[in-house]
Amino acid sequence: AQSVTQLDSHVSVSEGTPVLLRCNYSSSYSPSLFWYVQHPNKGLQLLLKYTSAATLVKGINGFEAEFKKSETSFHLTKPSAHMSDAAEYFCVVSVGHDMRFGAGTRLTVKP
Amino acid sequence: DTGVSQDPRHKITKRGQNVTFRCDPISEHNRLYWYRQTLGQGPEFLTYFQNEAQLEKSRLLSDRFSAERPKGSFSTLEIQRTEQGDSAMYLCASSPDLYNEQFFGPGTRLTVL
């Protein structure tokens, strides 16, 4: 079985400062890892995915994540936050069809 | 827009009533998934289909819940004798195969009074 833990339920940053959303995972197999974003009243949108290729994964809107097997982590970063980044972010571990979501991290961006 | 669509977007019902939700996946996707998301939590897997075959059901899916995908295209999720604990967002997703990401619809928000 697999599971994912998002270490922060809420992160608040100022516009223009870096973003770090932390995610640790557990899996008995070689998993695929994803980050999804959910804006209010919108569907979940894929930001990026890791599927055993390069460990540094670049996604949309300037986000990237680094897969660290030794630390079982897949943290999401962005160099400079924008107001439009305010949303709920979900880290996901997947083996085949079995996708397990973290509880989410709410990102607030202050002007 | 050829994304995943769900209908209705909102449903308010009284306890004990039956409700049915519909999901239309991206047309070329043969895999379809249902999830439930409660406030402050991530989505939880309910069930999934490959074409018309329902291949797995979560233990969250009690016998009051049933899902179908009769022709391998759209899917319905029915909840019988709704309870207040069924209040949640019900999400549908589709994917072209087992190893690709899932594409999510906007969800159906169910409120049981």
* Residue contacts between A and B (CB atoms, under 8 Å): 47
Q: What is the pLDDT of residue B92?
A: 97
Q: State the pLDDT confidence band at A43, using cuts at 50, 70 and 90.
A: confident
Q: Do B91 and A41 touch (CB under 8 A)?
A: no
Please choose, from the candidates B34, B47, B51, B49, the residue with its C-alpha nearest in 3D space to the C-alpha of residue B88: B34
C-alpha dihedral sign at A51, A57, A63, A67: positive
Residues B56-63 have a mean pLDDT of: 85
For the stretch B71-84, pLDDT in tens is 889 999 999 999 99
Nearest-CA distance from A57 to chain B in Å?
15
For the stretch B10-30, pLDDT in tens is 999 999 999 999 999 999 899
